[in-house]
Amino acid sequence: MDKKLEPVVKNIQEKFGATYEEFRDEVHLFLKPEQIVEALTILRDEFNFELLSALTATDYWPQETPRFHVIYQLTSLEKNLSVQIRVPVNGDSPKVPTATGVYAVANWRERELLDMFGIEIEGHPDPRRILMPEDHVGHPLRKDFPLGYEEPQFTFNFDEIDLRKPYAKE
Amino acid sequence: MSQIEEVSIEKFKHLVSARALTGETMLLNMGPQHPSTHGVLRLLLELDGEIVVNCIPDIGYLHTGIEKNMEAKTYQKAEVMTDRLDYMNTMGNNLAYVMAVEKLVDLDVPVRAQGLRVILTELQRIASHLVWLGTSGLDLAAMSMFLYCFREREQILDIFELVSGQRMMTTYFRPGGVWRDVPVEFEKAVRDFIKIFPKRIDEYESLLTKNPLFIDRMVDIGYLSKEVALQYGVTGPMLRASGVDWDLRKVRPYCGYEQYDFNVPTRTEGDTYARYLVRIDELRESLKIVEQALNKLPLGPVRSENRKFVPPPRSEIGVSMEALIHHFKLWTEGFPAPKASIYSAVESPRGELGLMLEGDGGPKPLRVHLRTPSFDNLSVLSQIVKGHLVADLVAILASIDIVLGDIDR
């Protein structure tokens, strides 16, 4: 771990009882969903993490508790540091509070979480789908969402496949 | 013919001002098939006469599920997906991906490959900025810029074709090095470009930089303050034009960027014109890096010798049993990566291109997240466009330099 990052990790550990993991000099802090807004505020105001570089999630399906990790990648421009915060969320009605109040960039990134993983964002100012069409059913980046393939059509079976192929309706 | 659904204002009630509900301001749809939205971006504008009151970007028209697709492919095969992401920065995307894989499995890269990576990504940066310069000139009615810029871009694409066989979808960088060594004509082609290009930048500048019409359209338009930029996660030339000296090539050097002498152009004005000047300066700096990297380029291997991750050369397969086994294993199974997650970022022409790669112990990634700079850069649009004319919106959008493939993934 970077020497400059030690006080940050220590502070968050003491305040929130967070655990941390380290891999290839990257630090992952684990927090609970209800602590995240306060922790982000402290990191931004006291430790100069001005930039929320990435906000995403990972799906560990079929594991259910916790099924998701919501991931906040923070960067400090002033001290040239990075830290990652992970929030484990269970599979039944997953939800995290919104971070829009701390970082405005979270607005679109959280809409992406909602769209792609179906993780509910509590208190989000504009909870609409962002990438998929509004009437789309399901959340594509969940592991139980099928990838979907198109059947290859050859001369001998062209008409047969063409009959059951879903085309856009006129 | 299916029924066209009437969109009610109720859906957008929380996004527009109260005046829109009484009909005092007008809601206007711009795009997705509008030439100045640089691809398929739809903007919902709330207008008071010609003045933009609110701007609601609607993205996702180019969503192709690249992240999901990459999860279903082995680490080597997933790389081709990254080309399709930001099609103006294919080499840079490849670099971000291979660096993430190398970090995840702890793989070494020979010095020559590092040098080649720097030369080609910097050329790509120039090519990308040229497209930006040409198209934003076009948006502001400087028609000839487009033709001049594409003339030089063509020269760069020819170099890409020389090294990788492809003009755009290169997939030239591979985990552990590059695909194969460059041909002998490579050095001359790059030197020709280095010789010709400084004069061409002066030519562009003589057309635009002091052009009163151009200045009129750009100065004090779309002001973005440092604080707002950081709040909205803006990176790259846009952030540097707002006075923040942050370039990943300088602050967290990768691929040996620390050995090259170059400046990071910054401006404090934060308007559209400042973004233009920063990118023009970056053209010069990138060319400086290309020249230094070419002068320093050592001879030697271009791919790692670690046979667990890098396939052996064709010549070895006929004579060595181990080579044949490695080749077979790599192309049938792929290589396993540890059950861990890493985040690695490079400076793309548009900003921080980050890749969060998570392995599950097998040959396929568990999760690939692409932190694409255009996505966050576009999210600030609705903030900086307020109070400007519709015509200025076009200039601002051009100065953000969005690539829809990069936003929608």
Cα B315 to Cα B320, B323, B324: the distances in Å are 9, 10, 11
- pLDDT tens per residue across span A70-97: 999 999 988 888 999 999 998 888 889 9
Name all domains of chain B by residue range, CATH numbers in brackets. 66-408 (1.10.645.10)
Exposed e or buried b for every residue in B4-24, given b needs 16+ CB within 10 A?
eeeeeeeebeebbeeebeeee
Residue B222 CB partners (closer than 8 Å, separation 6+) = B271, B272, B384, B385, B388, B392, B395, B396, B399
- pLDDT tens per residue across span B165-176: 888 888 899 998
Residue B362 CB partners (closer than 8 Å, separation 6+) = B336, B337
Residue A17 Cα, gap to closest chain B Cα (Å): 22
Residue A168 has pLDDT above 70, yes or no: no
Indicate yes or no: CB of B375 within 8 angstroms of CB of A104. Answer: no
Indicate yes or no: CB of B343 within 8 angstroms of CB of A73. Answer: yes
ipTM above 0.90, yes or no: no
Is B244 at the interface with chain A, CB within 8 A? Answer: yes
Query: B199: pLDDT confidence band, cut at 50, 70 and 90?
Result: very high
Is B15 at the interface with chain A, CB within 8 A? Answer: yes
Q: Which long-range contacts (CB under 8 A, 24 or more apart) does B181-184 make?
A: B181/B112, B181/B302, B182/B116
Nearest-10 crossing angle of helices B390-400, B272-296: 20
Q: What is the CATH number of domain A3-145?
A: 3.30.460.80
> In this complex, how many residue pairs, one in chain A and one in chain B, have their CB atoms less than 8 Å apart?
90
* Residue B101 DSSP label: H
Residue B205 Cα, gap to closest chain A Cα (Å): 32
DSSP of A51-97: EEEEEEEEE-TT--TT-EEEEEEEEETTTTEEEEEEEEE-SSS-EEE
Interface of B with A in 71-110 (CB under 8 A): 72, 103-104, 106
Choose from A108, A142, A145 for mutation: most chain B CBs within 10 A.
A108
- pLDDT tens per residue across span B35-68: 777 778 888 888 888 899 888 888 888 888 899 8
Which sequence spans correspond to the domains of chain A? Answer: 3-145
Q: What is the model's pTM? A: 0.89
